[in-house]
A and B are shown apart, each in its own frame.
Chain A
Amino acid sequence: MSDVYIIGAGIHPFGRTDHRSGREQGVFAVRQALDDAGLEWSDIECAYGGSAASGAADIMVNELGLTGLPFINVANGCATGGSSLASAQYAVGSGAYDLALATGFDKHDRGAFNADPKTYGLPEWYGQTGMMLTTQFFALKIQRYMQLHGISRRTLGLVAEKAFRNGARTDHAWRRSEVDLDTILNAPMINDPLTKYMFCSPAEGGVALILASEKKMRELGADGVKIANIAVRTRPPNSFEVFQPAISVQEGGKPTVLASKAAFEGAGIGPEDVDVAQLQDTESGAEIMHMAENGFCKDGDQEQWLAEGRTELNGKLPVNTDGGCLACGEPIGASGLRQIYENVQQLRGRGGARQVPGQPKVGYSHVYGAPGLAAVAILER
């Protein structure tokens, strides 16, 4: 497969936008990405996109123009964005097309996601008795992890404090105010040990990325960032995932570990080469565990990393530079592509008040979601 570049990136601000549907936010992002790349909609040769709750992406042609292009709807839960990007990369990397669009958008109701046992192949009693909540899974996973690996509640708070500090510097973030550590730690508990400031909320937003072959990028004189590798993996046997009435006593693998290893191998680099990372932070504990699952540190080292500020904007490995899901919220179809958008901006040196210093060359992004899947993308300048 030949090299593929991201030459245009657009985003509709995350959060709440009452006057625009999810799809309209997606269209907004596509127009911005076209402007960024100096292209017209009629130039785009194929498109991939989707949402979890805002309908099919191919309806966007009504607003964008009836150019007759092939537009593939992607419905892959939390990996919708990652899968759209991977598909667009294959389309261009195979040589079939020179210009492709990957887009994702969503608009969710307030409050925790509401799961129906039947759609997950689970018995009714599991939901009736109050055990089928995503927030509980994250709390149960980090509770055990903290006790086994010596992570403190204060460190959970530091992750959230950093997220809101970065969000305050980010135009597309939802939460634009800093929140101090004491407020985070003393806020109402959702599921012990996680307080309300440590969880992200369902939200709205849209992202669009335009992919080009190297030849096309040079022809256009575009400002491109290379896709070094993308890996999407579903769960291996005996893993511990969201919505499980029981877990195997055999310790299994993790989809994040598999996707991370595959992406690093494919890119021919290692964790030490990464300059900026966006890691799935559905809640504070997820960012901590994902630092280790993606190979950036050993289990337990996060306590020291956070205390020393190593994941701050000016640290050794800045993590979630736009405030991540905690500050941006989580519109499922757009969330994974927001991470890519942020890395594209950072590698182009367009991060503004949140720009990582020292001209970062390698950007890493990781998304995790139900029912146990992970997608990793590595970008290079």
Chain B
Amino acid sequence: MSVLTPIAEDLWTNEAEPRLIGGKLASGTIVFPMPAGDAAEGVERYPLARKGTLWSFTRQDFRPKSPYEGPGETPQDFVPYLIGYVELPGEVIVESLIVDAKLEELKLGMPMELVIVPFNSQHTTFAFRPERAA
């Protein structure tokens, strides 16, 4: 079985508890993702908090058209997935896949944490899941 590679380079840090890589503008504003090309000039690389709270959520109930590269091939083998925005306090509100949860369990303000998960047969991606009690 081949090793899964990240869906994009430099999207999250390579450490035991990975963090998404945002950018800090000269004004102090935090953005995500880190800007690329000319837009990156003067922007400081800024790893984001791993934990935050759920800002909004929904479930994707039909298979998106291209460029979606999720698992499966046809509308028949499509499995609905959760997405949402997670507020990282004082930093930025990040859009993300949500895993390890059911739609009915999601509530505004619930604690969430970052995980790196398998996405398709080739890549991993980032997601948030409800924070688990230690």
Residues of A participating in the B interface, judged by any CB pair closer than 8 Å: 111-112, 114, 116-117, 123-125, 127-133, 136, 139-141, 143-144, 147-148, 188-193, 244-249
> From residue 78 to 96 of chain B, which have CB atoms closer than 8 A to chain A?
81, 83-85, 87-96
B100 / chain A contacts, CB cutoff of 8 Å: none
**B69 within 8 Å of A by Cβ?**
yes
The docked-state distance in angstroms from the alpha carbon of A37 to that of B119 is 59
Smallest Cβ-Cβ distance to B8: which chain A residue: A125
Q: Is the CB–CB distance between A246 and B58 below 8 Å? A: no
Whether A111 lies near B32 (C-beta < 8 A) is no
Known contacts A123-B33, A128-B7, A128-B67: A244-B95 contact under CB 8 Å? yes
By a CB distance below 8 angstroms, the chain A residues around B43 are none
- Tell me the complex Cα distance, A143–B43, Å: 33
In the complex, the answer to whether B61 meets A190 with C-beta atoms within 8 Å is: yes
Let me know if A127 and B67 touch, CB within 8 A. Answer: yes
Q: What's the minimum C-beta distance from B128 to chain A, rounded to whole angstroms?
A: 12
* Chain B residue contacts of A246, Cβ below 8 A: 22, 31-33, 92-95
Alpha-carbon gap, A128 to B119, bound state (A): 10
Residues A140 and B67 in contact in the complex (CB < 8 Å), given A123-B33, A129-B119: no
Could you tell me the distance between the alpha carbons of A141 and B11 in the complex, rounded to whole angstroms?
A: 25
Nearest CB on B from A198, distance (A): 13
Asked if residues B92 and A192 are in contact (CB atoms below 8 Å), the reply is: no
Q: Which of A123, A140, A191, A245 contacts B94 (CB 8 A)?
A: A245
- Whether the Cβ atoms of A111 and B125 lie closer than 8 Å is no
Can you list 19 residue pairs at the A/B interface with Cβ under 8 Å?
A112-B65, A125-B125, A127-B68, A129-B7, A130-B60, A130-B64, A133-B60, A133-B64, A140-B58, A144-B55, A190-B61, A191-B60, A192-B59, A247-B85, A248-B29, A249-B87, A249-B90, A249-B92, A249-B93
CA distance A143 to B96 in the complex (A): 16
Q: Which residues of A contact B84 (CB under 8 A)?
A: 140
- A-chain residues with CB within 8 Å of residue B8 when the two chains form the complex: 123-125
A28 to B60, CA, bound (A): 39
Assuming A125-B7, A136-B58, what are 5 further A-B pairs, CB within 8 angstroms? A123-B8, A125-B11, A129-B97, A130-B81, A140-B83
Known A130-B70, A190-B61; judge A123-B97 contact (CB<8 A). Answer: no
Write out, one digit per residue, whether chain B residues 46-86 have a CB within 8 A of any chain A CB (1) or not (0).
Answer: 00000000011111111011111110000000000101110
Contact, CB under 8 Å: A245 / B95: yes
Query: Is B133 part of the contact surface with A, judged by Cβ < 8 Å?
Result: no
| Bound Cα distance A247, B84 (Å) | 12
**Chain A residue, CB-CB nearest to B20:** A246
B residues within 8 A CB of A129? 7, 68-70, 97, 119, 125
Measured between beta carbons, the chain A residues less than 8 angstroms from B3 are none
- The interface residues of chain B lying within 8 Å CB-to-CB of A192 are 58-59, 61, 103
Given A123-B8, A129-B125, are A245 and B108 also a contact pair (CB < 8 Å)?
no
A136 to B81, CA, bound (A): 12
B50 to chain A, nearest CB (A): 15
Chain A residues within 8 Å of B64, by CB: 112, 130, 132-133
A247 vs B32: C-alpha distance in the bound complex, in angstroms?
8
**Is there an interface contact between A191 and B58, defined as CB atoms closer than 8 Å?**
yes
Residues of chain A within 8 A (CB-CB) of B81 are 130
Using Cβ atoms and an 8 Å threshold, which residues of chain A touch B88? 249
Given A136-B58, A140-B84, A190-B62, also A247-B93 (CB < 8 A): yes
A111 partner, pick from B22, B65, B96, beta carbons under 8 A? B65
Contacts known (A128-B69, A131-B97); A143 close to B56, Cβ less than 8 A = yes
How many Å lie between the Cα of A144 and that of B58 in the bound state? 10
